[in-house]
């Protein structure tokens, strides 16, 4: 398959695709999010899109607690969706994971422009896993409930 | 003309347990040129919206509706509006308004007619372009995923399965096959999505809706797989020779998940031809040419040919500087007129001179005059008076001697 270039795909996909979420933002739903798994900011934009780029990075929570899956897509296997992703499950402490992510994304010049996004997402996922594990804490300063 | 040498697509083998035939080892098929055609969502959208009008059935209001009365207007003078009213008496209907679109029981505005133009004609070439585009789009995983099909576990796109699938007879084996090739999640999605349609369509014979699953395209006429696959929810079946845009791009959106059989893919070349070679089945038809053969902008821009001729990036940004008034700001004035420096210097010096000399003069005047100078000044005055008298002619006349005082 001649790799149809990302620009072309983006033009077709940006307005309308099954991952597009047009919900929030004042007025006519101006914030566009994207539910693809390999979109780091979940923003519907060319740079972050998992559909239009050959090289994508995705960071998701894995099934077991505290484990995070880092997946990068391989450029040569664009038309083999099953074999497309290079998945690795990480269960180390946060600093080590951050180092690993940074190396994968920027160290080998894979997608240096996504480094910040990848690290940000890592922290977000990691934190959510911690919260999920220990239960959502109620703040002690919660306003007193007025009981009738 | 084609972008590259034709890459190979491997044919997924079906496990021998499903059928008695010998499984072929993994073979490959060259990618048909159709899949490299330009993808034009605009054309597909246009053709799809027109083609889908072709299966409409006409609807119209009865042509007699609203007119089956002999109503006449009462005219003016009876304190009622002038709308035609039903004649006669003895019933509620008598005296009610009739005939107008605003009247209860009148006919509607512009009653719908059966001879409305329901069907649309589309140019054959456009229809072919759209189908070709849709086929090409179905081979790109991004587009298929964007359309919503679950193809993450599909081994390769375009998905080709061996011809032994064409002789599958039982639906249960068909489902097994789908699971083998990773297409089952998509069919599952379709099955899970079956729901009752919201809205009045429910009572108009359109009760259920569901998502679309994979489209199976087979090559040989009368293949048994049609019956095996057709009962699986979401799955459609089609013969290569009769591909339907409404199935390839449902809703006008490109990128349906298509599963080809080996013979189907091999036939594509003869049906659609290539970019240079005419198609065998469609007379004189050649695949449409794209505006840009290589549309990968990033690669073009970063290529050696372009980069070697391109000027370097301007990193420093020249910003507009604030305008300063040369009449007030000396440095800016000097930029415009270097002589201004010396001119100003001369002016300053001259001014200083002037100030100095004026000061001296004033000082001198203000200084109290000393006695000697005073006496000298007075004596000089008297002497002058005397010379004035002697110089003048008045001394000759005797009359003036008295007040001229000292004479000679």
**Which DSSP letter does residue A43 get?**
B
Q: What distances in angstroms separate CA B104 from CA B94, B100, B382, one per listed residue?
A: 13, 8, 134
B31: closest chain A residue by CA? A1
Segment A89-103, tens digit of pLDDT: 887 788 888 888 888
Half-sphere exposure of B58 (CA within 13 A, CB side): 11
Instruction: Give me the residue from B36, B156, B157 closest to A2, CB to CB.
Output: B36
- Each domain of chain B, given as residue ranges in start order, spans 8-55+119-293, 325-366, 372-407
CB–CB contact A78 B253 (8 Å)? no
CB–CB contact B156 A3 (8 Å)? no
- As a whole number, the mean pLDDT across chain B is 87
Segment B31-53, tens digit of pLDDT: 898 988 889 999 999 999 999 99
Contact B249, B127 (CB under 8 A): no
Residues in chain B: 408
CB–CB contact A1 B152 (8 Å)? no
Phi-psi group of A46: left, alpha or beta (phi > 0 → left; psi -120 to 50 → alpha; rest → beta): alpha
In this prediction, residue A2 has a pLDDT band, given cuts at 50, 70 and 90, of very low
Q: Which domains does chain A have, with CATH numbers?
A: 1-53 (3.30.390.110), 55-130 (3.30.390.110)
Fold classification of B8-55+119-293 (topology level): Ribosomal Protein L4; Chain: A; (3.40.1370)
In this prediction, residue B23 has a pLDDT band, given cuts at 50, 70 and 90, of very low
User: DSSP assignment of A91-141, as one string?
Assistant: -S-HHHHHHHHHIIIIITSS-GGGHHHHHHHHHHHHHHHHHHHH-PPPPTT
A78: closest chain B residue by CA? B141
Segment A22-73, tens digit of pLDDT: 877 666 556 788 888 888 888 888 888 878 777 888 888 876 667 777 777 7
CB–CB contact B158 A1 (8 Å)? yes
């Amino acid at each position: 398959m001649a790799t149809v270039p990302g620009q072309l795909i983006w033009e077709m996909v940006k307005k309308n695709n099954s991952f597009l979420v047009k919900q929030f933002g004042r007025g006519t739903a101006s914030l566009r999010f994207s539910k693809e798994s390999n979109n780091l900011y979940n923003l519907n934009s060319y740079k972050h899109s998992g559909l239009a780029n050959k090289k994508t990075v995705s960071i998701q929570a894995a099934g077991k607690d505290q484990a995070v899956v880092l997946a990068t897509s391989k450029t040569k296997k664009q038309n083999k969706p099953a074999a497309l992703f290079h998945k690795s499950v990480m269960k180390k402490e946060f600093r080590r994971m951050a180092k690993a992510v940074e190396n994968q994304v920027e160290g080998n010049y894979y997608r240096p422009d996504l480094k910040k996004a990848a690290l940000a997402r890592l922290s977000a996922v990691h934190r959510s896993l911690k919260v999920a594990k220990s239960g959502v804490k109620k703040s002690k300063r919660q306003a007193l409930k007025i009981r009738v | 003309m084609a972008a590259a040498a034709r890459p190979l697509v491997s044919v997924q083998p079906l496990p021998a347990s499903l059928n008695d035939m010998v499984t072929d080892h993994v073979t490959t098929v060259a990618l048909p040129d159709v899949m490299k055609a330009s993808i034009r969502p605009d054309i597909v959208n246009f053709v799809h919206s027109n083609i889908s009008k072709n299966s409409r059935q006409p609807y119209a209001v009865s042509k007699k509706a609203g007119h089956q009365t002999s109503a006449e207007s009462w005219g003016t003078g009876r304190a009622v509006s002038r709308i035609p009213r039903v004649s006669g008496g003895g019933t509620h209907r008598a005296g009610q308004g009739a005939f107008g679109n605003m009247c209860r029981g009148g006919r509607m505005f512009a009653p719908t007619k059966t001879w409305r133009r329901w069907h649309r004609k589309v140019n054959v070439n456009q229809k072919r372009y759209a189908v070709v585009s849709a086929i090409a789009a179905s081979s790109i995983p991004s587009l298929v995923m964007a359309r919503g099909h679950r193809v993450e576990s599909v081994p390769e796109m375009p998905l080709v399965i061996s011809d032994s699938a064409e002789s599958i007879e039982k639906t249960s084996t068909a489902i097994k096959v789908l699971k083998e090739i990773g297409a089952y999640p998509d069919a599952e999605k379709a099955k899970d999505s079956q729901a009752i349609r919201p809205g009045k369509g429910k009572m108009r014979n359109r009760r259920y809706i569901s998502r679309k699953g994979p489209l199976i395209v087979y090559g040989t006429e009368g293949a048994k797989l049609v019956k095996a696959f057709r009962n699986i929810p979401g799955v459609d079946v089609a013969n290569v020779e009769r591909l339907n845009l409404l199935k390839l791009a449902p809703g006008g959106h490109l990128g349906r998940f298509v599963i080809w059989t080996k013979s189907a893919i091999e036939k594509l070349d003869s049906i659609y031809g290539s970019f240079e070679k005419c198609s065998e089945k469609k007379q004189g038809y050649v695949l449409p040419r794209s505006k840009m053969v290589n549309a990968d902008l990033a690669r073009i821009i970063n290529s050696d040919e372009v980069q070697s001729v391109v000027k370097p990036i301007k990193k420093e940004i020249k910003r507009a500087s604030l305008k300063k008034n040369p009449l007030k700001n000396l440095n800016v004035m000097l930029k415009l007129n270097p002589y201004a420096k010396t001119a100003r210097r001369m002016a300053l010096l001259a001014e200083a001179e002037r100030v100095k000399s004026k000061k001296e003069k004033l000082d001198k005047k203000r200084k109290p005059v000393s006695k000697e100078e005073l006496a000298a000044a007075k004596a000089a005055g008297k002497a002058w008076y005397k010379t004035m008298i002697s110089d003048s002619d008045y001394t000759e006349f005797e009359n003036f001697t008295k007040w001229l005082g000292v004479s000679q």
